[in-house]
Structure 1
Amino acid sequence: MQNRLSLYMISGMLLLAVLAVVSLYMGVYVFEKHSLAEVISSLITNDESLSESDRFVMMGLRLPRIVMAILIGSALAVSGTCLQGMFKNPLATPDLIGITSGASLFAALAIVLGSSLKAYIPEIFHFSFLSIMAFAGALLTMMLVYRISTSGGKTNVVVMLLSGVAITALGFAITGFLIYISKEEQLRDLTFWNLGSLGGATWTKNVILATIVLVSYLFLINKGKALNAMMLGERDAQHLGIPVEKIKKQIVVLTALMVGTSVAFAGTIGFVGLIVPYILRMVFRSNYHIILPMSAVFGGVLLLSADTISRTVAAPSEIPIGILTAFMGAPIFIAILVKTRNTM
């Protein structure tokens, strides 16, 4: 089993590396060098013949964007996989149960009311105020949905989904009001968050995101066997020595942290946490020992592919990446609903 997992992971990482190289060279801008190999070689050797424009596009625009796509795609896919294992249902994803909406709402509050709210918080938190607000929104939404839909250790899937619908509707209403009272610059920022884009990627953001993702993975990525046990029932898992409550708390907090940070940096990108686990589950059944680490790789593959398409298919304009992931995710969501309608 371990050898198979290693083989799958290596294959996935090779695919991700190939996609990254292809994405690095695709776009409206045409490099003065004749081939990508020459551009990369010039960067590695610090060749002065490489023009400033080539260097800026490669290192300042495309490479940070590729890294952010991989990190956010991986974070959203792992978040979705963990939530599905915890709730024991393939429909439990950050966007469908309202976590993404909650994070987006609090991000919108930070954008429109930030100048007023910052007067009441320490100055040291001003720089990361948007990220803190997005995390708070995701965490509060996650806790609310869990409290509403779970009773006696069992989760009512219908209540969970309806809670997500209600929270999303409320978030949409409040965001609509914020759009109504916002200024022109704030309106542009709100449009960015609602549609989702990786155009604001920077190395500073990537360092913060990578730190959060790596810390979260230290606690989550090896929980596959525990999630397999929890699928049998929480009591059975406890009899097997699994610290169920501790794992659930880790999933709630760390999932909210990853989703909140992703929303703060890239806006609303839906369905990644639904698409990747669904496809992996078709291949590997419901074995979270394999699905969980694989989702970390193939989440990056999915979002990097979508971002490459978004900035090349309608060049020189750019299709918001949230629109593309919704196009891919909606049919899969319907397929899951049809498949599980008799068990809900």
Structure 2
Amino acid sequence: MSTALGAGRHPGLLWGLSSLLLAATGLAALTGAYQLDVLRLGALLWSPEARASADGLVFLHIRLPRLVLGLAAGAGLGLAGALMQGLFRNPLADPGLIGVSSGAALAAASTIVLGTWWWPGLSRSLGGAALVLGAFGGGLLVCALIYGLARSPGGLRVESMLLAGVGVNALAGAGLGTLSFLATDEQLRNLQFWLMGSLGGARWASVTLLVGVVGLAGGLACRLARGLNVLALGEAQAVLSGLRLESLKRQAVALTALLVGAITAFTGVIGFVGLIAPHAVRLLAGSDHRYLLPGSALLGAVLVVGADALARVLVQPAELPLGVLTAYVGVPVFLTLLRRAKRGLG
């Protein structure tokens, strides 16, 4: 096992990804409709007078929380993708397979469109606690539903989880279509903007909470690396080796649901990062999850921060939705992976 896993293992890749992330973060900090100079950026970090200027206010209260949100969201999505691909033992697996993001999206859409019926004045809270709690609650509810459907006397069945996720995704799509039909023009615009994903709603309170969630989940996920390496040999071999397989499955699913639900609640739907990042790291560093998990988190953060910087400059002074940009990149990559997998089966 160690030979197979270590064939493409390159610990130096983590340092390379860290350097790439640092460069992407620096570029994103300077980029946007409001340009900042690199020398000025240093002064903003250390000088109280500079922090009180217009540049300082823009950087500290708009640009910096947006950057930190992008780092946390990208790292969490990359990590969730690595967990799903390890659990399904399939490089085409994606966190969206189990329906958590779809459930969160449907709950958020219900808050936007139907919230004014349940709670008059809720529309003034959109983008705040009501929308976030609704989306996160929807993600957790879907996770509990799928877990219940996939559980059997023999343990948690991964294939049943996949089928349940397909059904939930289809139902959520129908629900979103119905809500779009019922929505007013203003609600429809809010709904579509949220569904396309954005980091524009970053506030320090929400950013701090998400960083804590991603950090905690990341630490717990890295403890699953050895078990995922054993699982790569097959479930039968994993059980014979003494792995607590059902516990591993439960923890991987729970962490994925926590990550995707929390991120979707704060940013909307950002697709394909959880597919691209783990697969790219696997191609470069092999399948050892001791490197794959942190590498996927680093590359996911690079992709989201870089895509957000690009989204802010492509259509200035407007902003291209982040989820649209990641889909333009992610769909061709997914089709390429699918074609490669088809050749492998042939």
Per the alignment, residue 282 of structure 1 pairs with 283
Equivalences, count: 329
Deviations 1:272-314 (A, max 9, x none): 0000011111112322221111111111011111111111122
Secondary structure of the 2:314 match is coil
Per the alignment, residue 110 of structure 1 pairs with 111
Q: CA deviation at 1:229?
A: 0.4
| Aligned: 1:221 with 2:222 | yes
Q: CA deviation at 1:135?
A: 3.0
Q: CA deviation at 1:156?
A: 3.9
Amino acid at match of 1:307: D
Per the alignment, residue 40 of structure 1 pairs with 42
Per the alignment, residue 203 of structure 1 pairs with 204
Per the alignment, residue 20 of structure 2 pairs with 15
Check the 8 A contact 1:103/1:135 in 2, yes or no.
yes
Query: Quick check: 273-282 or 129-138, which moved more?
Result: 129-138
| Aligned: 1:63 with 2:64 | yes
Q: Residues 85 and 117 of structure 1: is their aligned pair in 2 closer, same or farther, counting only changes over 3 Å?
A: farther
Q: CA deviation at 1:190?
A: 0.8
Secondary structure of the 1:318 match is coil
Amino acid at match of 2:241: L
Check the 8 A contact 1:74/1:299 in 2, yes or no.
yes
Deviations 1:38-75 (A, max 9, x none): 332243121x2566321121111111111111100110
Cα distance in structure 1, aligned partners of 2:314 and 2:334? 25
Q: Residues 150 and 80 of structure 1: is their aligned pair in 2 closer, same or farther, counting only changes over 3 Å?
A: farther
Amino acid at match of 2:172: G
Per the alignment, residue 3 of structure 2 pairs with none
What TM-score results when the alignment is normalised by the length of structure 1?
A: 0.86
Cα distance in structure 2, aligned partners of 1:154 and 1:257? 20
Unaligned 5+ runs, structure 1: 120-126
Q: Residues 149 and 339 of structure 1: is their aligned pair in 2 closer, same or farther, counting only changes over 3 Å?
A: farther
Q: CA deviation at 1:240?
A: 2.4
Cα distance in structure 2, aligned partners of 1:138 and 1:289? 28
Q: CA deviation at 1:9?
A: 2.3
Q: Give RMSD over aligned pairs.
A: 2.7
Q: CA deviation at 1:250?
A: 1.4
Identity %: 37
Per the alignment, residue 122 of structure 1 pairs with none
Cα distance in structure 2, aligned partners of 1:51 and 1:176? 46
Check the 8 A contact 1:81/1:295 in 2, yes or no.
yes
Per the alignment, residue 170 of structure 1 pairs with 171
Q: Residues 58 and 319 of structure 1: is their aligned pair in 2 closer, same or farther, counting only changes over 3 Å?
A: same
Q: Residues 49 and 105 of structure 1: is their aligned pair in 2 closer, same or farther, counting only changes over 3 Å?
A: closer
Check the 8 A contact 2:80/2:260 in 1, yes or no.
yes
Check the 8 A contact 2:43/2:50 in 1, yes or no.
no
Q: CA deviation at 1:102?
A: 1.7
Q: 24, 31, 42: which one pairs with 1:26?
A: 31
Amino acid at match of 1:44: W
Amino acid at match of 1:78: L
Deviations 1:167-191 (A, max 9, x none): 3332122112212223444323211
Q: Residues 343 and 99 of structure 1: is their aligned pair in 2 closer, same or farther, counting only changes over 3 Å?
A: farther
Cα distance in structure 1, aligned partners of 2:228 and 2:166? 26
Q: CA deviation at 1:163?
A: 4.9
Q: Residues 179 and 263 of structure 1: is their aligned pair in 2 closer, same or farther, counting only changes over 3 Å?
A: same
Cα distance in structure 2, aligned partners of 1:37 and 1:270? 35
Deviations 1:189-240 (A, max 9, x none): 2112211111111111111101111111121123222101011122322332
Q: Residues 253 and 50 of structure 1: is their aligned pair in 2 closer, same or farther, counting only changes over 3 Å?
A: closer
Per the alignment, residue 301 of structure 2 pairs with 300
Per the alignment, residue 89 of structure 1 pairs with 90
